[in-house]
Structure 1
């Protein structure tokens, strides 16, 4: 028997500890599955173990890349093939479902989910991880040393890091179950996690445009009228979102049809939105009112859960809830495959109307005042407690898979959801950070929250631009916030941050958020908002090409600086800057410069109360033309260009910039080849046959432009094109390679206008064949 066959036999046997019941299974040479006691029945891991050659020597088991060593107490140590210690176990308790590890003293660890505490590094953290409106947890952690852990347990889990070690303790489980991954870098760990749990499918091209929403448009006429107004003002827009209550009464909660009198022509509204070259997203929930058909069918089959959820009262127009009239709304058992099929059966009504995308709200789900009996309630495959954190994964996966079955290739699934669990990146969903308050403090927290989420393997994150609850800024009457300079400044800076999120979406309660609410063209606030939207559309070739790298190469949109500059220790804990793709450094302004910053404390529940929590200084005025300044750090090892001025800076230093209300600080790395599109009113208005190519000299560079049909899955069959650009810095030559691939309707010929930082430019014709431009 040769060595390779021996390794495969060992894998099939699943290695068992010589000291305790510890099973060690190599999935790949760099991924090891560890179980102690009974393993978790997985909902996340889709990969199968490969035929890994492993060798056993004494108390160690090794692949070509990784060694697992065990001591006499059954504790494991993970090492590289060269013997470098990556991570050590300290102790475990199978009965308590607890595993404790030992970290290096200065070792930084990241991930786990969207903690709203402004931090990325999880050292010193103590956190009970249970899905909620504002915080979501994925149980995926990674180290600056290049290793990662996925803790395979779906019950609420306590994470602790202190002098006693770093530990996971879950509330339910029959054993300890985790995956150790060695990727060598942040990107490497992300790639390992996606290998385990699934890649990231492409979103439609139009989803990267601008989305407008609010809580809520109250008639079909109002919703459609928003699109009309954007078109009239010639401000780009690609998506309009219809929030809740288009179904009518709370007793008809989530009926998934236009039952309200104000939406009687809802199906026609969707068609009209399409005729205006926009796309339509609609709110759906994981719960149903007692008068809905879904509720009745699910109730008869025992597929509803008993706990209180949103909305608590059947009276929709009175707050706080009138508990004398309970809504009777119940969450469905999304773990049950038949329940997920029933869910889609009724959702097809909206799908057949032409709905383009789903706003899956309260996928945490809201679970008010849970009791022990609620947690013990049986669900498909376990109890509510045992599966609680995986609920968003189950419900999102149900919609994704059934829409794919409905139209397997012709229409890409796009889901926006409030919650996520590990592996959810594979099911066509983008998570937003919940009902965050409108405050500078909360804006600052969104940056590390989004980066932490990305580090768990899911790149798809966004927030409500301006924050959801803005009532504190309504100091001059109801809905006056958009004319309050304090809120105007916050909204602009939030939008400038959101430029660099995969989804670029304005939404919130208490006041409308459309651009005209903030003023009119020619006024600084309006113009700053419009400038941000237009920049987003110019960046679409760059952004869509990143999307392809996310799908094909395990990249991420939003990258903490240590993803690319881990050797610069100063960036390990930077939470106000990040890379947008691999070439643009986003450094948004996250503090008030023109108005007085207020301390505003609201959460997802108090925000609904709309109590007097007013920002002070309501008589403030702001001179938006007054230049300001900010200080940002540029990672070492790279020459950086200011995107707006083309001024060059050496990395490894703090730089002071002059700022203005209409500019977001952003830098471009030397060697970048940045492709920019012409401004359009919507995606697809103009083909990309005239693109600007900005070259940033100082280093060699490469970029691959990706294009496809934009809204189907034909790319999975290879119907797409790529064009590779290479900048040779020494010879100052740009080479545009042969176009690779094809798809129906592709642009055959185009013009590229090449622009350098000194202002020189050159326009060339390109027909798909290689050209070199000195």
Structure 2
């Protein structure tokens, strides 16, 4: 009897185990789990010990469409084990455990000690069909504890640093860059492999103001009082009416502006009261150009200006309770006949999204993401680059100063500008040619207008040979209809056709009909490069400035129309492939140039970006931003989050791109002139510590000698920081080497170095420039001091006087017009090179090492040839420095590696700074303990 009873139990148990085993396939690189619910497939792929790819589908098979952003293959060779029980399938590496619930398909990640890192909180697939292709609207939720902080996501310019409990729209716009990678304070990152428009956070569509209860000035419910007035005419009313929405978002919506209203002379106000239908934080989303100010209960919530043709985003929250009425006033001064404003609202975050981190994408074939773990943020970002590609080392000259403006119109403009820099001995490495160097009716010719540039090759040769200056040129993916290059591309089917069918004209002269090429087409990319090579690269062009790479085929179009303008792509519907145009465009130029001239480093600057761009030797600038102090303030967290998205090279238009009338109509005078000079001075002070150092913008001209006279504080400060940048070149280039070889990041949100100090998590206006410098930009007019935080756990030295202050405290630092507060971390070893006018002027045969006491320290000096790709083959050298604070010694390590032209002998000057012996940094000083170095290790006792 016992046997009879025992046998069925054994048989049932075996069958149950067999059934679950049958549902889990062990692949070469992971597990494929077959489920029976809404999610039918979940796959775990091991990339390495700390990176696991998760794919999921509601269908019987998971799509195998190749990734655009990943460079890792399917057989990585990583070691792992797996176990299966009645409820879960578990995959384990040396560092991670990933467990899949066999009922729900949800994944949990734990570290090697068994501590939970993150849990999935839900998956959703909504079937959709686009252009006959079956796709899904996708959503992936993750549980997120209250104390977590999030960074990255590209370059949203809303002024936010930490995206916890915030909503981020990942849509490519001019100045808004979408990169679907988030970095968590809990030492992990999520790389979301999807190319469509994506929302991080609340996925609900933005709603009109009518989603709240509205009351106008007269107490009538249902709308606000909208008054369309005439500026500078007191109490003028062109029209007054009730309005329940504020939505002049795109060109078509401007048709609803009251007929005959002179927007260029207008001022519009919306006034009344709002009451929420649900208590809690009400979320407001603004997109506006012109002047916009918003008050709630008399408190100014927003005060911004942008040029009419380029609206920018803002977000804010306001706690409100149902039954309460709150005064609302919006004031808009359009300034032009094409300006935009939109104010949308969302009620408090719904329960299903509370304590969650969410990605929601418009279209995709599957849920696909990489979970990346690390002991510290740099390791996580290095993991991101393991998946998407190493960040190529830029040519050394690209780390120097670039001069640009909108725009140099003739060959003489270019040469005379460089001549003036050399005459004044202002360091410079690159001059930039902006758009419209071609004949007016030949956009897309990829060639110079011979009337204004009679000898373009001779001009570039002179820049190289006489003035030791490099030449970057603006290149658009745009073609005017019927020019020869258009015909070539059109005949081969390489162009988007909708704007041609719709006869859309641009803003040049009489207006010309144009379109863009399809960068998703590999053959089109090769053809495009061939045109650049034939007419530009062959003349000696050094680098490429890729403008309007969102792609901005027709500015201020609706999203739906933008999709039509680039549909279909060679890979599929534009809805599915909306965001990565910049990635594919850069890919074509990078691959084309490397094939054409393999011994010259590619360098690309592009207005948009996407995950993986760093592998194509490409940097990004923050787009067409305003010349305002508040815009300068927003650049700081924008740049930090961009770099924390894994893309290390970033810059802004120093001074801002477009200017208010007070600065250029007529030339600024009096107080306006003083503000203009101070704005540029503060921006240069900040820009010197960005990964790339570049001035650009509309008139007034942006050269330092056109900003302020030589004897002014402003001029002298700008030149000081330019020279400081060049003296720091051994430090900066060493960090560029670390960025490629070790996955480092030059421009660093404070969390990256002080992640145990919770006080830094919200700080978006300070950052580390490499391991040594705490940079504290000044972004308020007439400010002569600024509050800042010195991170805990180390001491800090004021660069300018060498005085020491303990960390872990808030201070108010002096910020005279000619300086921003700069602090150096205790234990830092900072190499300063010779005083040079361009990066290739001379080898750093004498380097001054400033050693900051109070803690042990290290630094590795990296060098290579600076212009070619031999570093990829091991042609580089490093010298490790090690400071021992206890016995006050500095060890110069044995040189490792070699490259052609390497210095065999050099000198180091050692300057010690400590609490008892403050030493001011001095650009002109030739001080320090002189040591000869021949490549062998030596230890020096530092004299004080």
Return the TM-score normalized by structure 2.
Answer: 0.74
Task: Note if 1:89 corresponds to 2:106.
Answer: no
Deviation at residue 18 of structure 1 after TM alignment: 4.3
Deviation at residue 314 of structure 1 after TM alignment: 5.6
Deviations 1:481-504 (A, max 9, x none): 998111111111111111111110
Deviations 1:698-737 (A, max 9, x none): 1111111111111111112222221111111111011112
Deviations 1:227-248 (A, max 9, x none): 0010111111111000011111
Task: Note if 1:150 corresponds to 2:191.
Answer: yes
Among candidates 672, 679, 682, match of residue 490 of structure 1 = 679
SS in 2 for 1:97: strand
Give the Cα–Cα distance (whole angstroms) in 1 for the partners of residues 750 and 512 of structure 2.
Answer: 47
Give the Cα–Cα distance (whole angstroms) in 1 for the partners of residues 523 and 642 of structure 2.
Answer: 30
Q: How does 1:586-625 map to 2 (within 5 A)?
A: 586-593=775-782
Match of 1:771 in 2: 938
Deviation at residue 82 of structure 1 after TM alignment: 2.0
Is contact 1:473–1:487 with CA below 8 Å preserved after alignment? no
Deviation at residue 629 of structure 1 after TM alignment: 2.3
Give the Cα–Cα distance (whole angstroms) in 1 for the partners of residues 541 and 670 of structure 2.
Answer: 31
Runs of 4+ in 1 over 6 A off after TM superposition: 479-483
Q: Which moved more, 1:533-542 or 1:655-664?
A: 655-664
Is contact 1:471–1:481 with CA below 8 Å preserved after alignment? no
Match of 1:23 in 2: 43
Deviations 1:254-282 (A, max 9, x none): 31111251112222111111121110000
Is contact 1:245–1:260 with CA below 8 Å preserved after alignment? no
Give the Cα–Cα distance (whole angstroms) in 2 for the partners of residues 314 and 92 of structure 1.
Answer: 43
Deviation at residue 292 of structure 1 after TM alignment: 3.2
Is contact 2:32–2:41 with CA below 8 Å preserved after alignment? no
Match of 2:512 in 1: 327
Q: Which moved more, 1:15-24 or 1:192-201?
A: 15-24
SS in 2 for 1:240: strand
Deviation at residue 376 of structure 1 after TM alignment: 8.0
Give the Cα–Cα distance (whole angstroms) in 2 for the partners of residues 302 and 475 of structure 1.
Answer: 44
SS in 2 for 1:392: helix
Q: How does 1:400-549 map to 2 (within 5 A)?
A: 400-408=590-598, 410-474=599-663, 477-478=666-667, 484-549=673-738
Deviation at residue 687 of structure 1 after TM alignment: 2.1
SS in 1 for 2:536: helix
Is contact 2:793–2:807 with CA below 8 Å preserved after alignment? yes
Deviations 1:488-547 (A, max 9, x none): 111111111111111100000131100111233222111111111111111111000000
Match of 1:11 in 2: 28
Q: How does 1:162-201 map to 2 (within 5 A)?
A: 162=349, 163=351, 164=353, 165-201=356-392
Task: Note if 1:727 corresponds to 2:883.
Answer: yes
Deviation at residue 315 of structure 1 after TM alignment: 6.1
Q: How does 1:563-602 map to 2 (within 5 A)?
A: 563-593=752-782
Deviation at residue 84 of structure 1 after TM alignment: 1.6
Among candidates 531, 539, 548, match of residue 353 of structure 1 = 539
Task: Note if 1:316 corresponds to 2:508.
Answer: yes
CA shift in 2, pair 1:646/1:64, >3 Å: same
Deviations 1:587-618 (A, max 9, x none): 11122225xxxxxxxxxxxxxxxxxxxxxxxx
Give the Cα–Cα distance (whole angstroms) in 2 for the partners of residues 343 and 222 of structure 1.
Answer: 28
Give the Cα–Cα distance (whole angstroms) in 1 for the partners of residues 177 and 531 of structure 2.
Answer: 28
Is contact 1:109–1:144 with CA below 8 Å preserved after alignment? yes
CA shift in 2, pair 1:170/1:445, >3 Å: same
Deviation at residue 306 of structure 1 after TM alignment: 3.2
Match of 2:494 in 1: 303
Task: Note if 1:36 corresponds to 2:56.
Answer: yes
Q: How does 1:265-280 map to 2 (within 5 A)?
A: 265-275=455-465, 276-280=467-471
Is contact 1:748–1:768 with CA below 8 Å preserved after alignment? yes
Gaps of 5+ in 1: 1-6, 318-324, 595-627
Q: Which moved more, 1:167-176 or 1:104-113?
A: 167-176
Is contact 1:479–1:510 with CA below 8 Å preserved after alignment? no
Deviation at residue 473 of structure 1 after TM alignment: 3.8
Is contact 1:155–1:389 with CA below 8 Å preserved after alignment? yes
Deviation at residue 296 of structure 1 after TM alignment: 1.0
Q: Which moved more, 1:548-557 or 1:723-732?
A: 723-732
Q: How does 1:188-337 map to 2 (within 5 A)?
A: 188-249=379-440, 251-275=441-465, 276-308=467-499, 313=505, 316-317=508-509, 325-337=510-522
Deviations 1:310-351 (A, max 9, x none): 99646624xxxxxxx552211100010100010011100211
Match of 2:182 in 1: 141
Return the TM-score normalized by structure 1.
Answer: 0.90
Match of 2:76 in 1: 50
Gaps of 5+ in 2: 1-23, 127-136, 203-348, 920-926
Q: How does 1:36-115 map to 2 (within 5 A)?
A: 36-37=56-57, 38-39=62-63, 40-48=65-73, 49-51=75-77, 52-58=79-85, 59=88, 60-71=90-101, 72-95=103-126, 96-115=137-156
Match of 1:746 in 2: 902
Is contact 1:752–1:766 with CA below 8 Å preserved after alignment? yes
Give the Cα–Cα distance (whole angstroms) in 1 for the partners of residues 754 and 201 of structure 2.
Answer: 28
Deviations 1:732-763 (A, max 9, x none): 01111222222222222222111122358311
CA shift in 2, pair 1:8/1:558, >3 Å: farther
SS in 1 for 2:904: coil
Task: Note if 1:339 corresponds to 2:370.
Answer: no
Give the Cα–Cα distance (whole angstroms) in 1 for the partners of residues 69 and 673 of structure 2.
Answer: 46
Q: Which moved more, 1:169-178 or 1:461-470?
A: 169-178
Q: Which moved more, 1:24-33 or 1:367-376?
A: 367-376
Give the Cα–Cα distance (whole angstroms) in 2 for the partners of residues 253 and 352 of structure 1.
Answer: 19
Is contact 2:174–2:550 with CA below 8 Å preserved after alignment? yes
Deviation at residue 12 of structure 1 after TM alignment: 4.6
Give the Cα–Cα distance (whole angstroms) in 2 for the partners of residues 24 and 770 of structure 1.
Answer: 47
Give the Cα–Cα distance (whole angstroms) in 2 for the partners of residues 593 and 352 of structure 1.
Answer: 48
Is contact 1:576–1:587 with CA below 8 Å preserved after alignment? yes
SS in 1 for 2:518: coil
Give the Cα–Cα distance (whole angstroms) in 2 for the partners of residues 220 and 83 of structure 1.
Answer: 65
Q: Which moved more, 1:38-47 or 1:759-768?
A: 759-768
Match of 2:229 in 1: none
Task: Note if 1:656 corresponds to 2:821.
Answer: no
SS in 2 for 1:282: strand
Deviation at residue 44 of structure 1 after TM alignment: 0.8
Deviation at residue 9 of structure 1 after TM alignment: 5.4
Q: Which moved more, 1:367-376 or 1:461-470?
A: 367-376
SS in 2 for 1:706: strand
Match of 1:385 in 2: 575
Give the Cα–Cα distance (whole angstroms) in 2 for the partners of residues 375 and 15 of structure 1.
Answer: 39
Deviation at residue 27 of structure 1 after TM alignment: 1.9
Deviation at residue 16 of structure 1 after TM alignment: 1.1
State the superposition RMSD in angstroms. 2.1
Deviation at residue 305 of structure 1 after TM alignment: 1.2
CA shift in 2, pair 1:12/1:706, >3 Å: closer
SS in 2 for 1:171: strand
Deviation at residue 225 of structure 1 after TM alignment: 0.8
SS in 1 for 2:364: coil
Deviations 1:26-48 (A, max 9, x none): 22222111112244531111112
SS in 2 for 1:330: strand
Q: Which moved more, 1:429-438 or 1:150-159?
A: 150-159
Give the Cα–Cα distance (whole angstroms) in 1 for the partners of residues 763 and 815 of structure 2.
Answer: 20
Give the Cα–Cα distance (whole angstroms) in 1 for the partners of residues 503 and 589 of structure 2.
Answer: 22
CA shift in 2, pair 1:480/1:507, >3 Å: farther
